[in-house]
Structure 1
Amino acid sequence: MRLLRSAESFPPALRGAVAAIGNFDGVHLGHRALVATVCTEAAKRNRPRLVMTFEPHPRRFFVPSSPPFRLDALSTRARILEQLGIDALLAMPFDARLAGQSPEEFVDHVLAEALGLGHVVVGYDFTFGKARAGDTAMLRELCARHDIGVTVVAAQQDGEVYSSSRVRALLEKGELAEANRILGRPWEIAGTVEHGDKRGRELGYPTANVALTDFQIPKFGIYAVRCEIDGSLHDGVASLGIRPTFANQTGVKLEVYLFDFSGDLYGREMRVAFHAFLRPELKYEGPEALKTQIAADVRDAKKVLQGG
């Protein structure tokens, strides 16, 4: 799959594509309905299948002080969309120029002129243009001027509409199983392994400290995880929180103990997929009590990951 970072010099082979437009944060079941529609419409027309999203997320642009909220990295989105059959992902730079475009300018200059789209797929609540002035009815009207077809996909729900905000709320409450169901996969964090204070090694459980960037922070606690490093998978248990047992701790940490790995991970990229929430973060009387609990957490994580 091709990952494009700008509408400039858009590949001629992709012109006429059927494109879904949206933020696609998490690529949850609602987003997957849009992707399925793109694939269906593209097959009818023998056209490329495209997803158009925005980087940074518009919320980060308009409210830069927002706490971390992203459900996935762009690389994660690209991998999942490729698995779903998408040919190319266009990550449009969301800047003052794009934010200031009127709905007419967005359709005329971006969708029609720069991209030459043949058909557009959006969700029922899609808005676009400066001050979110455009809706799906306006999109149909403006696209018709350029012979661009439009399909609006109805809300996907199970009593409650699937949404990225719903997934975020579930993660904050520690309801990982339900969040993963709506995502259609285990939620994951991707980051670089950094140097830590080596406390895990002192306890007999050396951990990889994964850098947290703009990701949504789930409920503090212990998780059963499956990690990917350079294409290989490793089961483990992760602690996410502020480590209240130890004094003078600052900031939220993600520490991962891998069951079957030994070696230097510093500076390497790791994908941490969260499979189960085991327990909340707790404060212990000292290192020995914590060490005993870690041993129990390892047993519980192995049981979950092995399907026991």
Structure 2
Amino acid sequence: MGKFDGLHLGHRQLISTAVRHARSLGFLSAVLTWEPHPNLILRPGTPPQLLSNLEEKIELIGSFDPDLLIIAPFTEATKTTSADAYLAQICAALPLRELWVGAGFAMGRDREGDVPNLMSIGQERGFAVGTASKVEIDGEVVSASRVRELLATGHVERAAMLLGRPFGLRGTVVPGDQRGRVIGFPTANLEISPNHVMPADGVYACRVLLDGMSLPAVTNVGLRPTFGMIQRTVEAHLLDWSGDIYGRTLQITFLHRLRSEQKFAGIEALIAQIRQDAEQARRLLIG
């Protein structure tokens, strides 16, 4: 049970441990998470920036092959439900034998359902509680908040270490202003949910998944100051590929940060820099 935003290494350890333990005992394994993210209800004034949307979360959890995936609604009523009452509902629906949570997990009204209280509830309701210890990488505790901090400063390679995979964005290709095409570098302009985390403004070497193909790309995240834009965009230039992909869904994985976003004196200087970016990305991604 958990929010599992981003499915970082700590989440992965928890889910894999629970699934493996269930199989060793001959039980079914189930992963329960909530939609929407609980903080959207708990802190409506400061909605969270999410590392994964529901579709991405389902795919990532599915990779661990649990027998059941439960997407439970999180509502105003959920916020005021006690931990014991919530678990009573679960026990009424499923024959719960073991509940696995992270070491710092807490649930229920006022976060009363921390691990010691969950163990007490389990003793009364007939289930054991297991915890997965925090995961550390080079002395740094893996957490969703730390991944967000790394992405906010453009450290996509370090974020990938904590996630256990490169950070990605998924979006629909929508029409842009066609400036990339005019200057010889057509781009796919992605429509991204405003609640989804984006890496720091800058230029990145990426891989783009399209129709099962993994294509090298240079991606710009930012305001494009040379053109005086005021709306943040995510634009990917697919290297050595052309075609009409409007309306298609792309998955972009951010592998290397090439540089920060900058304003150029004119179009020629911008074109020269994009050529350098493309060559650097090609060396990093293709060799």
TM normalised by structure 2 equals: 0.94
Seen in structure 2, the aligned counterparts of structure 1 residues 236 and 60 have a Cα distance that, compared at 3 Å, is same
* 1:147 equivalent among 102, 126, 129: 126
Structure 2: segments with no counterpart, 5+ residues: none
Other-structure match for 1:231: 212
Paired residues of 2:39 and 2:47 also in contact (CA < 8 A): no
Compared CA separation, residues 256 and 65, structure 1 to 2 (3 A): farther
Asked whether the 8 Å contact 1:68–1:217 carries over to 2, the reply is no
Contact 1:42 1:49 in 2 (8 A): yes
1:127 is matched with 106
1:136 maps to which of 101, 111, 115: 115
Of the structure 1 ranges 135-144 and 227-236, higher mean CA displacement relative to structure 2 is found in 227-236
1:292 to 258, 268, 272: 272
Question: Are residues 1:245 and 2:226 paired?
Answer: yes
The percent identity for this pair of structures is 37
CA gap of 1:67–1:127, structure 2 versus 1, over 3 A, is closer
CA contact (8 A) 1:195 1:266 kept: yes
What does residue range 141-180 of structure 1 map to in structure 2 within 5 Å?
Answer: 141-158=120-137, 159-180=139-160
Moved more, 193-202 or 80-89: 80-89
Aligned residue for 1:295, secondary structure, equals helix
1:191 aligns with 2:187: no
- Matching residue's letter, 1:28: H
1:263 deviates by 2.0
Q: Distance in 1 between matches of 2:78 and 2:181?
A: 49
Deviation sequence 1:20-63 (CA, Å, 0-9, x none):
x1111111111111012112211222222222111111112222
Contact 1:226-1:235 within 8 A present in 2 as well:
yes
Counterpart AA for 2:186: P
Is the contact made by 1:242 and 1:252 (CA closer than 8 Å) also made in structure 2?
Answer: yes
The separation in 2 between residues aligned to 1:33 and 1:131, in whole angstroms, is 27
- Per the alignment, residue 8 of structure 1 pairs with none
Question: What's the RMSD between the two structures over aligned residues?
Answer: 1.5
CA–CA distance in 1 between the matches of 2:32 and 2:93?
13
Aligned partners of 2:178 and 2:186 also within 8 Å: yes
Asked whether the 8 Å contact 2:5–2:50 carries over to 1, the reply is yes
Aligned position for 2:235: 255
SS of residue paired to 1:27: coil
1:16 match: none
Deviations 1:247-289 (A, max 9, x none): 2x12210000111432221111111111111110010011111
Alpha-carbon deviation of 1:67?
A: 5.7
Give the SS at the match of 2:106: coil
Structure 1 residue 231: deviation in Å?
Answer: 2.6
Identify unmatched segments of 5+ residues in structure 1: 1-20
Equivalent in 96, 99, 102 of residue 117 of structure 1: 96
d(CA) in 2 for partners of 1:199, 1:182: 36
> For residues 178 and 162 of structure 1, what CA distance do their matches in structure 2 show?
11
**Retained in 1: the 8 A contact 2:42–2:79?**
no
Q: Tell whether the 8 Å contact from 2:96 to 2:127 is kept in structure 1 after alignment.
A: yes
Distance change >3 Å, CA 55–CA 39, structure 1 → 2 = same
Look up the match of 2:257.
277
Preserved contact between residue 48 and residue 87 of structure 1 (Cα < 8 Å): yes
Taking the aligned partners of 1:264 and 1:64, their CA distance within structure 2 comes to 39
TM-score, with length taken from structure 1? 0.88
Task: Tell me which moved more, 80-89 or 47-56.
Answer: 80-89
Give the count of matched residue pairs.
285
